[in-house]
Structure 1
Amino acid sequence: MKIYEHVKIHEYLKIYEHVKIKEIEMGKRSAPFKGLIIGILLAAGMFIVFQFIRASPDKQAGSVVDEFYRYEQEGDFAKSWALFHSAMKEKFPKGGYIQDRAHVFMSHFGVETFTYTAGKSEKLEKWKMAKTGPALDNVYRILVTQTYKGKYGNFDLKQEVFVVKEKDEWRIMWDYNQ
């Protein structure tokens, strides 16, 4: 073997050794990076599962009921009316609903606001708003208790509220079956 070839092989071995050392060092440095990536993936997975649970249909229905009654508490009847199903909007034109709610609850009952509790949602496979109305699928029933404290004393108003999806939005309905 010539000296030239021996030097060249020696240089290759040094380069190879240097590369291997760097690979080992990089592996040690990348271990925390791999842990970070795994942690991020686990957090993202937990977030997705949480969103799925939180966004379940019964939870969404309950959220719409809460939103509706918060608007009613604030006396913002235009916003609560907007959460009605189209069949309810036909029954109560917007202007009339706003006037009636303000007049009956605020004036006649002598109260400024109320508290409410919403019970657990119960899924119904089929339900009708009225005997002659169409049967609706996948409806949630939630018992709402409104507590009023006014000049005529304290009283509770209990009402079953029905929540149904209409055009991909959850909407409020009341029962008119006799």
Structure 2
Amino acid sequence: MYNKRRRFIKLVLIIGGLLSLLTLGAWGFQFTFFSSTYHAKHVVKEFYDLEQKGNFSDSWEYFHPAMKVRFEKGAYIQDRAHVFLNHFGVETFSYDITEVEKLDTWKITADGEEWTDVYQMKVIQIYKGKYGNFSINQCVFAVKTKGEWTIAWDYNQ
């Protein structure tokens, strides 16, 4: 009788522990993949993955509407290819996204519209080209606009 009771208690503890792990795992999955931080960082990753491949036409599509006003699509495609591929003599680059931070509000320019739902992150692009190895450090902003995450760069002085 004592052994049966002991086995039953062990079984209950094992099942309870497994249920707890599953619950925590599901919560962690939901927190990670449905969080704004995840989506903001993901859109920046998607943008730079396309830039790495030289697919500037598709990366341009990720821009916030205010960025699209700054860069006509055809000019952006030509400039990016010309400067990075031709002038720097690189075929591709690697990058790191660090320092993800939620901002209460942010403006693309000092006199611009104030935005909410903004994440700032540091992107470090590492190039190896004919002029040696170099990197570009840039603050990049993920901005939620009409339910979609978009990319913006800082033009504040």
| Shorter-chain TM-score above 0.5 | yes
- Provide the C-alpha distance between the structure 2 equivalents of 1:51 and 1:97, rounded to a whole number of angstroms: 37
Tell me how far 1:59 sits from its aligned partner. 1.0
Tell me how far 1:46 sits from its aligned partner. 4.5
SS at the partner of 1:119? Answer: strand
Residue in 2 that maps onto 1:140: 119
Residue in 1 that maps onto 2:138: 159
Which structure: larger Rg? 1
Residue in 1 that maps onto 2:154: 175
1:69 aligns with 2:43: no
More helix by share: 1
Query: Identity of aligned pairs, percent?
Result: 53
What are the within-5 Å matches in structure 2 for residues 80-119 of structure 1? Answer: 80-119=59-98
Q: What is the root-mean-square deviation in Å for CA atoms of aligned residues?
A: 1.8
Matched residue type, 1:135: E
Tell me how far 1:120 sits from its aligned partner. 2.9
What are the within-5 Å matches in structure 2 for residues 54-65 of structure 1? Answer: 54-65=33-44
Matched residue type, 1:80: S
Instruction: Return the TM-score normalized by structure 2.
Output: 0.83
Structure 2 residue runs without a partner (length 5+): 1-17
Aligned residues between the structures = 140
Matched residue type, 2:155: Y
Tell me how far 1:50 sits from its aligned partner. 1.2
Matched residue type, 1:111: V
Q: 1:48 to 1:98 in 2, by over 3 A?
A: same
- Provide the C-alpha distance between the structure 1 equivalents of 2:98 and 2:39, rounded to a whole number of angstroms: 14
- Provide the C-alpha distance between the structure 2 equivalents of 1:91 and 1:119, rounded to a whole number of angstroms: 26
- Provide the C-alpha distance between the structure 1 equivalents of 2:61 and 2:36, rounded to a whole number of angstroms: 20
Matched residue type, 1:118: I
Runs of 4+ in 1 over 2 A off after TM superposition: 42-49
| Higher relative contact order structure (alpha carbons within 8 Å, sequence separation ≥ 6) | 2
Residue in 1 that maps onto 2:29: 50
